[in-house]
Amino acid sequence: MAGEYINDAEQRMQKSVEALKREFASLRAGRANPALLERIQVDYYGTPTPINQVGNIGVPEPRLLVIQPWDRSLIPAIEKAILKSDLGITPASDGNVIRIAIPQLTQERRKELVKVVKKKGEEARVAVRNIRRDTMDRLMGIEKKGDISEDILRREQDELQKVTDNYIKNVDKIVENKEQEIMEV
């Protein structure tokens, strides 16, 4: 019974780490990455639609993204959506495809992005710790009811702490890798 709580906590912690990875994928690090455009919504005949559902996104060069819309009439809407996004990049169109040159990041912008990465990493660590706290409360609740003994409670708490430490290390490693990617010139 108590093991189920730890498995549940581990799954929730895994989801927090995956959410952090998705968040980092959309952060611009000076390299072209289709994930940069994931959060951009295009007005597709009155319906907000993710940009990757209205065309193909390719990376022909390390600093260039190419969007090939399935419907050419969407090119102005895609350009408008990219310009309205907070990415700070300007699309260029030739009537068939949209090219997005990813400019080199300045040292100042790199430092700002590292601060954002650290903040998001700390938010992920807090989320993992909150999951641990909730699970500890649930374990103590079933111990108070008398469903498990104090020894089992201690063993489960130790196991939960090991799982938590493992996920915190995982988050730290992801943050460190993203920092290195951003600071890479």
For residue 45, is pLDDT > 90?
Answer: no
Cα–Cα distances (Å) from 182 to 59, 82, 126, 164, in that order, read: 18, 21, 23, 27
**pLDDT of 34:** 83
How do the domains of the chain map onto residue ranges?
2-25+106-183, 34-101
Task: Taking residues 166-183, report their average pLDDT.
Answer: 91
Nearest in space to 138 (alpha carbons), one of 8, 14, 31, 27:
8
Confidence band, pLDDT 50/70/90 cuts, at residue 22: confident
Task: Taking residues 5-18, report their average pLDDT.
Answer: 92
Classify 2-25+106-183 by CATH class: mainly alpha
Task: Taking residues 23-45, report their average pLDDT.
Answer: 79
pLDDT greater at residue 183 or residue 168: 168
CA 42 from centroid of its chain's CA atoms: 21
**pLDDT of 103:** 78
pTM (predicted TM-score): 0.72
**pLDDT of 32:** 75
Q: Does domain 34-101 have CATH number 3.40.50.10490?
A: no
Strand partners, 98: 67, 93
> Does residue 100 sit in helix, strand or coil?
strand
Q: What is the pLDDT of residues 128-153, one digit of tens each?
A: 999 999 999 998 998 898 888 888 88
Task: Taking residues 162-174, report their average pLDDT.
Answer: 95
Most confident of 34-43, 64-73, 126-135: 126-135
Q: What is the pLDDT of residues 87-139, one digit of tens each?
A: 778 888 888 899 988 877 788 888 888 898 999 999 999 999 999 999 999 98
Q: Which two tokens stand for residue 64?
A: 């260039």
Task: Taking residues 78-88, report their average pLDDT.
Answer: 83
